[in-house]
């Protein structure tokens, strides 16, 4: 019996997006991933295969607030990520939603990052 799992479909979406979205040194890929409990965001230079900026809800400042992976955390993390990226000298990125639909937490994170000064 040929069954398709949700995880397999998610991976196919990730690959389909990743074919089109490439990060460079001057315009890295901003990858955001939401799990059930936490949020992870990183700016990746795909040419060199290196992570330039990383931030997650597991960091000390967010862990104290105990936000979880909700809209409030997405907004706060988006603003904090934009500030950290600006400090690292990044102003423009390419957004990678990692297969998630662009609404809810993903949209709030993206809007907050734009509000913080990132261009994408």
Q: Could you write out the DSSP letters of every residue in 22-88?
A: ---SSS-EEEEEE-SS-EEEEEEETTTTEEEEEEETTSHHHHHHT--SSHHHHHHHHHHHHHHHHHT
> In angstroms, what is the C-alpha Rg of the chain?
15
In this structure, what CATH number is given to the domain that contains residue 50?
A: 3.30.420.100
Total count of domains within the chain: 1
Core vs surface per residue 19-45: b (16+ CB within 10 A) or e: eeeebeeebbbbbbbbeeebbbbbbbb
The pLDDT tens digits of the residues spanning 39-92 come to: 999 999 999 999 999 999 998 888 888 777 889 999 999 999 999 999 999 999
Whether residue 56 is contained in a domain is answered as yes
Structural domain boundaries enclosing 44: 22-115
Whole-model pTM?
0.86
Whether residue 98 is contained in a domain is answered as yes
């Amino acid at each position: 019996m040929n069954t398709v799992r949700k995880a397999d479909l998610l991976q196919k979406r990730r690959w389909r997006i990743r074919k089109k979205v490439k990060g460079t040194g001057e315009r890295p890929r901003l990858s955001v991933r939401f799990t059930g409990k936490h949020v992870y965001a990183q700016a990746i230079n795909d040419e060199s295969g290196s992570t330039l900026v990383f931030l997650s809800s597991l960091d000390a400042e967010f862990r104290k607030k105990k936000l979880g992976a909700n809209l409030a955390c997405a907004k706060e993390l988006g603003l904090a990520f934009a500030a950290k990226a600006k400090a690292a000298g990044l102003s423009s990125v390419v957004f990678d939603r990692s297969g998630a639909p662009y609404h809810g937490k993903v949209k709030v994170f993206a809007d907050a990052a734009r509000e913080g000064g990132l261009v994408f």
